[in-house]
Amino acid sequence: MTDANRVLIFDTTLRDGEQSPGATMSHAEKLEIASLLDEMGVDIIEAGFPIASEGDFAAVSEIARAAQNATICGLARANFKDIDRCWEAVKHAKSPRIHTFIGTSPLHRQIPNLTQDEMAERIHETVTHARNLCDNVQWSPMDATRTEFDYLCRVIEIAIKAGASTINIPDTVGYTAPRESAELIRRLIAEIPGAADVVFATHCHNDLGMATANSLAAVEAGARQIECTINGLGERAGNTALEEVVMAVKTRHDIMPFTTGVDTTKIMHISRRVATVSGFAVQPNKAIVGKNAFAHESGIHQDGMLKNPENFEIMRPEDVGLSATNLVMGKHSGRAALRSKLAELGYEMGDNQLKDVFVRFKELADRKKEVFDDDLVALMRDASTDPADEYLKVKFLRVVCGTQAPQSADITLTVAGEDQQATAQGDGPVDAAFNAVKAIYPHNARLQLYQVHAVTEGTDAQATVTVRMEEDGVLATGEAADTDTVVASAKAYVTALNRLRVRKEKLGGKDTREVSYKDAG
């Protein structure tokens, strides 16, 4: 094993991941995710797109100031204004990086309407400008996998000569396949003068479900940086999933002798946090982080597992931060047991926070005989400390439902500390509850997503409800858990409304993504 086999992990959950429609994260949530990424040993964190909005700029700046280990990177299109703004945000980091890009394929060249020569000149100017500001510059030819090979070589050579030290090869539309991905990297490294002196990165989208395979193939061909997101979060079908590449090289070290600096035991916790704050639940059968990824533990393979876990396990649950034993908590469990269980699940907390959580845990344990790990995670998701979530609160809810329509809801909300009551009817109890909220807090937001998940098995299981709302292009997601699905729904709904209110105030009604890649030239 040599250092030549060390692969850098570049996480873009907060930039490319957050770009997926609806995946909005609050400022506090972005800082939390960045700190978890930093702690888990990710090498480079792409913290955002600073020119896109004041919010993005503030988040990148603060993440840059706070990062302890990781390089902090910001994205910039190929113009001086973007690059300057990016530098202003990342310069606070111990190790800053500017990532600048332009679409180089025939289709993408048409967007800024530049000839090949004009674009080559633009690349020279912008990479030089970025390099004058920052020692660490990454350059990407967007849609590289659909760019003519000769032109791709030409512009990469220009970027290297202008001072880029990382060349990223994006498969922007998820078009490539493993053999082709490897071949492209191999040829670029072999044929471009100066290629041996820079790091080649691979950035794959998952439109054909091949992102992880394409990334690993690129590494086998010489790429030494993988760009990825937690849970594969990202536009359309998403990006390469961090947990997949990291666990693949760890588990199949025999055929892929690469290493990363990621502490894999932190994977489960960050995966759950990203699912919560982005509002994108992880599908149960998702590799590594899905609820069923280790389900054989308690399923039909139990006998084989007891004889030898390797019969059915290619990696241990502990390796990704799942506890080996799912110690069940109940109403007799004490505060110390709760603290240690939560720490095991990745939640460290001070005495005051523990006090609140303990009260909520006892309430849950009274309603539910056995409290499983997943119940505690749902409880923690619900225990928001974000002041934005305090404006509207559900204090009381009673619904009348059944076969006899109409269903109705009687609700008391605390609005800025004052109780207000309303009764409304609806098409089902959830609709009635939402109508009652609207009667107290009128709004024009549109419901974009309403999702219910049972946290564990059994009819007394908690339901986790996710609600996504949109108004004037601004999106916000709320999530809540309760053994009563209608209560969880009403709580998630008001959380989404609270967040929408704060976002709209901050943005003055503008979407954070007002700046699009269409202006990439």
In whole angstroms, how close is the CB of 18 to ligand KIV at the nearest point? 12
Instruction: Please tell me whether residue 10 binds ligand KIV under the rule CB under 6 A.
Output: no
Instruction: Please tell me whether residue 101 binds ligand KIV under the rule CB under 6 A.
Output: yes
* Site mask for Zn ion (CB under 5 A), range 11-30, x = bound: -----x--------------
Which residue's CB is nearer to Zn ion, number 47 or number 338? 47
Pairing of the two strands 8-11 and 225-228: parallel
Closest residue by beta carbon to Zn ion: 16
**Which residues lie below 8 Å from residue 185, measured CB to CB, with a gap of 6+?**
169, 200, 202, 218, 221, 222, 223
Q: What are phi and psi of 452, to 5 degrees?
A: -120, 135
* Site mask for ligand KIV (CB under 6 A), range 130-149, x = bound: ----------x-x-------
Q: Considering only CA atoms, which of 410, 381, 388 is closest in space to residue 397?
A: 410
Distances (CA, A) of 467 to 38, 233, 445, 501, 505: 29, 18, 12, 15, 20
In whole angstroms, how close is the CB of 244 to Zn ion at the nearest point? 16
Whether 60 contacts 38, CB under 8 Å: no
Whether 229 contacts 217, CB under 8 Å: no
Instruction: Please tell me what DSSP assigns to residue 15.
Output: I
Closest residue by beta carbon to ligand KIV: 170
Residue choice 131, 146, 203, 224 for contact with ligand KIV (CB under 6 A): 203
Instruction: Please tell me whether residue 16 binds ligand KIV under the rule CB under 6 A.
Output: yes
Which residue's CB is nearer to ligand KIV, number 61 or number 176? 176
Which residue's CB is nearer to ligand KIV, number 75 or number 354? 75
Burial of 387 (0-12, 13-18, 19+ CB in 10 A): exposed
**Which residues lie below 8 Å from residue 473, measured CB to CB, with a gap of 6+?**
510, 511
Instruction: Please tell me whether residue 172 binds ligand KIV under the rule CB under 6 A.
Output: yes
Distance separating alpha carbons of residues 269 and 323, to the nearest angstrom: 11
In whole angstroms, how close is the CB of 172 to ligand KIV at the nearest point? 3
Residue choice 74, 96, 112, 170 for contact with ligand KIV (CB under 6 A): 170
Sheet holding 407-415, edge to edge: 392-400, 407-415, 418-426
Single-letter residue type at 160 = I
Which region among 126-134, 168-176, 365-373, 474-482 touches ligand KIV (by CB under 6 A)? 168-176
Tokens coding 415? 């609005």
In whole angstroms, how close is the CB of 139 to ligand KIV at the nearest point? 10
In whole angstroms, how close is the CB of 5 to ligand KIV at the nearest point? 25
Which residue's CB is nearer to ligand KIV, number 170 or number 178? 170
In whole angstroms, how close is the CB of 168 to ligand KIV at the nearest point? 6
Tokens coding 146? 């659909």
In whole angstroms, how close is the CB of 120 to ligand KIV at the nearest point? 19
Residues that bind ligand KIV (CB under 6 A): 16, 101, 140, 142, 168, 170, 172, 203, 205
Residues that bind Zn ion (CB under 5 A): 16
